[in-house]
Structure 1
Amino acid sequence: MPQTRLDTARIRAARQVIDPAFLDTPLYRCEALEPALGCAVSIKLETANPVRSFKARGTEIVASLLADHGPQAVVCASAGNLGQALAWSGRRRGLDVTVVASRHATAAKLDRIRALDARLELVDGDHETARKRAAAIARRDGIRLLEDSLDIQTCEGAATIGLELADSTTPFDTVLIALGGGALATGVGHVMKDLAPETEVICVQPLGAPAMTHSWHQRRVVTTDSARTIADGVAGRYPIPAVLDDLLLVADDALLVQETSIIAGMRKLHDHAGLIVEPSAALGIAAILENRDRFAERHVVTIVCGSNVNIDDYHRWIATAPTHTS
C-alpha cells in the first residue's frame, strides 16, 4: 500500500463517528445511462443526505473532535458545500461556525449555510481569497481553521465512500472521481489502492480549472491565475503540496473535460437517471462522453458528489445540452 497521509484503520473507525445519515449511500447500476455512454455505469449517490453532498463525512469527524477536545469555534473557507456541511455538523454539537465564501458563490449554497445558523462572511474575489481570509480570522480569534483536503479528517471522511465501494458485491473496473482540492480523490483513491488495487482510479477536473490535474501530470505543484468553470466546487487554483503527494500515490490518471461535456453530463443524469446535480457531480459522466473508446466494455462507477445548484442556472445550462443519446 502506498504511504499516504491516510490510514485505513482510522477510516474504518471514522464510520463510528459519522452520522448514519451520511453513510451507506445508494450504489446502483444505472442501465438507462448505458446506451448513451457505451459502457456499464454505476452511480454512487452522495446527494441523498441532509446537506446534499459528500462533505459532511469529513466535517462530522472534525466537529466530533472539536466537541470532545478542541476549541468550540471553527472557521473554514468554502465554495459552499464544505461550509454547509460544517454548519450542519457544528450546529448538531453546539459549535460556533464561521464560513468565508466568495460573494459570487452559488446563492443556493450560501442560503443553506445561513439557514444552518453559521456566521457567513463574504469576500470579493474567488475561493483563494476566501481561504486567505479564513486563515486570518483563525489567527485573529484563536479558533480552529478547517482546511479542506489539507486536514486529514476531510480526506478520511471522504474515504469512507471508498470502504463502501470496496465492500460492494458487484465488481467494477474504474472509479471516476471529481477532482478539486483533492479530499475526495485522495480519500477514495487510498482505500481503492489498499482494498481493491485492481480498480482503476481516475480523477476528473474541468478544463477551465486545471491546476491539480496539471500538477498531477507534472508531478509538482502548478498554479493558475484564474479558474473559469461552472463547476464551482472544484475551481481551485493553488494545489496543496501534501495533498498532491497523496494524489500521486493513489490516482492512475487525471483527465480534463470541457464545459460542454459537463453540461451534457448533467443533462444525461437528468434525462436517464432522474437526478438534478451540480456541475461538479457530472464530471465523471463528462469524462466518459469524451473518452468513449477508453471506457467501452468496462464497468465504471461515478461518484455523484453534490446537488446544491441554483435552479435557474441549472435549467439554463441543461437547456443548451443536446438531447440525443449518442
Structure 2
Amino acid sequence: MTNSQQHPSADGILAASKAIDPVFLNSPLIEQQSANAALGLRLFAKVETLNPIRSFKGRGTSWWLHNEPPGDTPIVSASAGNFGQGLAYAGRARGRRVVIFSATTANPGKVDAMRKLGAEVRLEGADFDAAKAAARRYTEEHDCAFVEDGALRTIAEGAGTIALEITEQLARSAVRLDAIVVPLGNGALLTGVGTWIRAHAPDCKVIGIVASNAPAMKRSWETGHPATTETAATAADGIAVRECVPYALDCMKATVDDVWEVSEADISAARDFCRLHYGLVVEEAGAAGLAGLIRHGKALEGVTVATILCGANVRADIA
C-alpha cells in the first residue's frame, strides 16, 4: 500500500487544515526571552499538549479517517500511546471500533487513556516494534487493514498542518524562519512538516531529532536504505523505534536537510528546560526537538528557529 502512495502535498495539508477536528488546531506558538538567552537563538515553540489527548497525533488521525470510507471493520494499529489515543478519539467520533497493540512495557497512563477513549488495547511484545508485528499478524488473521503511523500520506499531511500554522503565525509578525527542529520517530510529523516548509519556506532548514539509543531512522537517512537496530532503549517512547518506516524514509529524501542525535541526558535536560522556561510538563519524545537544540544549538546560533512540543503524556512516576 505505501509503495503506490503519493508523497504528502502542500495542497493536502491545506485541505487537512480545513477538515481536522478543530479541537486539535491553532495551538499556541510561544516565545520566551529566557529560553532565547539560554540557547543563543530566537526560538518559537509550538505547544501541542493542550488538546484532549495532549499530543499532536489527533491531527493526522482525524485527517486520515476523514478520507477513509465508512465501514464496520476495526481500525487496527500499534502505538506507544499517543497515536493510539488519536485513533481512538477519531474512531469514537465516527462509531468505529479501534484495536491498538502496545508493548508490555508501555506507559500505563497512555494505555489507560487509550482504553478510556474506547480502544481495545492488547499488550504484546517487549517494545513498540514487537507490538507492531503482533498487530500485523492480527490483521492478517482477521482480514482487516493495518494502520501504520509514518506510512500513510494523510497522517503526514495532518501533522503538516502544524507547520502551516507556524508559518502563518510568524508571517503575521513578519518573522522569517531559518530552521525547524522536529522529533523523529516513525516519521509522519517530520515529513508532514517538511512538506509544508519546502513549499512555503524553502530557505528554512528542516532537521529531525532521534534518540542516540534509537537511531534507526537516522541511520536510514544517512545510507538511503531502511535500517533496523536491535534495541531502542530510550525514555522517549514516542520516538523509540527499531525499524525504519520505508515510506517515511522515501518522503524524507525530498523534505529533510539533516537528522541529529540526542542523548538520554539531553532529553532529560529538555524536559527540565520546558518546566523552567515555559512552565510546561512535556514528555520525553515531546521535548526531543528542544533536546536537539540543547545538544547542537551552536549550529543555529543567532538565527530564528521553531520546534514542536508534541506530547505531554508523561509517566505518573516521573511527572
TM-score normalised to structure 1 length: 0.92
Quick one: structure 1 residues 4 and 293, their matched pair in 2 at CA, closer, same or farther if it must change by over 3 Å? Answer: farther
Contact in 1 for aligned 2:150/2:247 (Cα 8 Å): no
Instruction: Give 1:1-326 correspondences, 5 Å limit.
Output: 5-66=7-68, 68-168=69-169, 169=171, 170-314=175-319
* Counterpart residue identity of residue 179, structure 2: T
Quick one: structure 1 residues 61 and 292, their matched pair in 2 at CA, closer, same or farther if it must change by over 3 Å? Answer: closer
Q: Size of the alignment, in residue pairs?
A: 311
Quick one: distance in 1 between partners of 2:6 and 2:74? 29
Q: Which moved more, 1:244-253 or 1:161-170?
A: 161-170
The RMSD of aligned alpha carbons is 1.5
Deviations 1:172-216 (A, max 9, x none): 211000001100000000110011101110111110000001111
Deviations 1:105-145 (A, max 9, x none): 11111110111111110013211111111112222222232
Q: 1:72 deviation in Å? A: 4.1
Q: 1:250 deviation in Å? A: 0.8
Quick one: distance in 2 between partners of 1:293 and 1:248? 25
* Counterpart residue identity of residue 160, structure 1: T
Quick one: distance in 1 between partners of 2:35 and 2:18? 34
Gaps of 5+ in 2: none
Q: 1:217 deviation in Å? A: 1.4
SS of equivalent to 1:224: coil
Q: 1:240 deviation in Å? A: 1.8
* Counterpart residue identity of residue 28, structure 2: P
* Counterpart residue identity of residue 180, structure 1: G
Quick one: distance in 1 between partners of 2:6 and 2:213? 28
TM-score normalised to structure 2 length: 0.94
* Counterpart residue identity of residue 30, structure 2: Y
Quick one: distance in 1 between partners of 2:91 and 2:13? 20
SS of equivalent to 1:313: coil
Q: 1:282 deviation in Å? A: 1.3
* Counterpart residue identity of residue 181, structure 1: N
Deviations 1:267-304 (A, max 9, x none): 01101100100001111211111123212101111111
Contact in 2 for aligned 1:32/1:273 (Cα 8 Å): no
Quick one: structure 1 residues 82 and 292, their matched pair in 2 at CA, closer, same or farther if it must change by over 3 Å? Answer: closer
Q: 1:163 deviation in Å? A: 1.2
* Counterpart residue identity of residue 291, structure 2: A
Quick one: distance in 2 between partners of 1:31 and 1:140? 55
Quick one: distance in 1 between partners of 2:8 and 2:192? 7
Give % identity: 37
- Runs of 4+ that moved beyond 4 A: none
Q: 1:171 deviation in Å? A: 2.0
Quick one: distance in 1 between partners of 2:201 and 2:81? 32
* Counterpart residue identity of residue 233, structure 1: G
Quick one: distance in 2 between partners of 1:313 and 1:117? 26
